Amino acid sequence: MTALEKASAYLHTMSKSEIAQLVQRAASRLSMEFPGIEKTPGVCGGSVCIIRTRIPVWSIIEYMQLGVAAEKTVAKLPHPSGTGLGKRLGLLRCQQG
């Protein structure tokens, strides 16, 4: 049994508060691994966003799926400190997969 399967098996035994805490911990861990994105409860419906903005990653992915070049889309985004174009492109591609 994988770690994901084990965690999924416990979900039905957890309260909504415990699930929310788990989601926050997971989002925190992801944001450490993927600098330049963040997930803040109550902001953009809880969607993962470009850090310190209200630009959800899903909206950028939709532009890319419509045929807008990734480089062109990402180049128009605010430049979070420490996060270059290459890193942000990697983040977007990771979100697509």
The model carries a pTM of 0.47
Using pLDDT thresholds of 50, 70 and 90, give the confidence band for residue 82: very low
Range of the domain at 76: 3-96
What is the total count of domains within the chain? Answer: 1
Listing DSSP states for 37-72 in one string gives EEE-TTSGGG-EEETTS--BHHHHHHHHHTT--HHH
pLDDT greater at residue 1 or residue 80: 1
Average pLDDT of the chain, as a whole number:
74
64-93: average pLDDT: 63
Q: What is the CATH number of the domain that holds 27?
A: 1.10.10.10
CA 79/CA 76 separation, integer angstroms: 9
